[in-house]
């Protein structure tokens, strides 16, 4: 059963705590992405990685960090420096090199920080 | 900076009607275009992509691309209440990234 998994589905944290969101894919796709979506808003790119051990900042990277030690995994850490961390976080994967760039999304993690 | 524009809606159509969703883009060099459907509280799902001028049909969905006018449309024939969702248009950017529009909310009334 191929796909992208994100865990947990819902996450609650106290302000000032770091939290790590999991994203795993078994599609054998090279590229992976993290987006943030706020109510009624579009998708904003946080970080992306085109290959293992390499990643780049997206449009709103401040207060977030990532790692890409394995092709299958791209965890996102929301640090205490992120001012408004409550949002819906989406992970996506894409097969590079084919010129198509379509991205496939995981089910998302809804983070609430109080 | 590339831009992708969509009317936020909501667009309301009666069941059985044709829903027409539009997207304009700023980069004349864009080659491919994607439509995603996002149900409330769920993640986006890729439903159509189009690379060539003209129409591409897949079941009740038709994507129309007009590169000269820089717009891409998604038509949904015989709209069903289950089609009620937000539809996102996306255009590739450098580095394999996608630029998403804000999305159009579609409501199909029984």
**DSSP state for residue A73 in the 8-state scheme:** B
- Average pLDDT value for residue range A27-54: 93
Which of A19-23, A92-96, B53-57, B97-101 reaches the highest mean pLDDT? A19-23
pLDDT, position A99: 54
Q: Confidence band (pLDDT; 50, 70, 90) for B77? A: very high
Listed in sequence order, the residues at least 6 apart from B60 whose beta carbon sits closer than 8 Å to its beta carbon are B76, B77, B78
pLDDT averaged over every residue in chain A: 92
pLDDT, position A1: 55
Q: How far is B16 from chain A (nearest CA, A)?
A: 27
> A45-69: per-residue pLDDT in tens?
999 999 999 999 999 999 999 999 9
Please state, in angstroms and as integers, the Cα–Cα distance from residue B38 to each residue in A27, A40, A57, A105, following that order.
Answer: 21, 12, 25, 11
Contact between B43 and A96 using a beta-carbon 8 Å cutoff:
no
Q: Which residue in chain B has the smallest CA separation from A97?
A: B96
């Amino acid at each position: 059963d191929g796909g992208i998994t994100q865990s947990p589905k819902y996450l609650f944290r106290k302000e000032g705590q770091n939290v790590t969101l999991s994203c795993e894919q078994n599609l054998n796709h090279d590229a992976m992405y993290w987006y943030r979506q706020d109510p009624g808003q579009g998708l904003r790119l946080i970080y992306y990685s085109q290959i293992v051990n390499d990643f780049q900042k997206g449009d709103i990277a401040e207060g977030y960090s990532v790692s890409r030690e394995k092709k299958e995994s791209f965890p996102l850490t929301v640090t205490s420096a992120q001012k408004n961390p409550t949002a819906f976080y989406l992970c996506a994967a894409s097969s590079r090199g084919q010129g198509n760039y379509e991205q496939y999304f995981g089910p998302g993690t809804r983070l609430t920080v109080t | 900076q590339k831009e992708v524009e969509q009317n936020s809606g909501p667009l309301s159509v009666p069941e059985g009607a044709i829903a027409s969703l539009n997207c304009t883009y700023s980069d004349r060099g864009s080659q491919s275009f994607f439509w995603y459907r996002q149900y409330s509280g769920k993640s986006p799902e890729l439903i159509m992509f189009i690379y060539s001028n003209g129409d591409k049909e897949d079941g009740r969905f038709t994507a129309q691309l007009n590169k000269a006018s820089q717009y891409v449309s998604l038509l949904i024939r015989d709209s069903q209440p289950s089609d009620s969702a937000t539809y996102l248009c996306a255009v590739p950017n450098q580095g394999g990234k996608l630029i998403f529009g804000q999305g159009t909310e579609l409501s199909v009334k029984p």
